[in-house]
Copies of this chain bind each other. A is one copy, B any other.
């Protein structure tokens, strides 16, 4: 079973990297691009028959993201 955890900055938090990427793309001539949001994902492979969702949730909260500035979202792949 594979869980995918998405982590990205909360809305309103400055993401200087996304800003720099957007500027670069614009300067490369891709005019219609209006916004870029950046994030990370983790594919976590779990070898168990149990439902492991709540554990993944805990890992996401404690380790993979910082709740002060980031949100996460888990999907089962």
Given contacts A41-B40, A64-B21, contact A52 B28 (CB under 8 A): no
How far, in angstroms, from A16 to B42 measured CA to CA in the complex?
14
* Copy total for this chain: 2
Q: Establish whether residues A63 and B24, one from each chain, have CB atoms under 8 Å apart when the complex forms.
A: yes
Q: Establish whether residues A40 and B42, one from each chain, have CB atoms under 8 Å apart when the complex forms.
A: no
Q: Mark A34-45, 1 if CB is under 8 A from B, else 0.
A: 111111111111
How far, in angstroms, from A75 to B62 measured CA to CA in the complex?
29
Q: Establish whether residues B6 and A30, one from each chain, have CB atoms under 8 Å apart when the complex forms.
A: no
* A:17-34 near B, CB below 8 Å: 18, 21, 24-25, 28, 30, 32-34
Given contacts A34-B47, A38-B40, A42-B36, contact A63 B25 (CB under 8 A): yes
Q: In the complex, which of the residues A32, A39, A40, A52 has the most CB atoms of chain B within 10 Å of its own CB atom?
A: A32
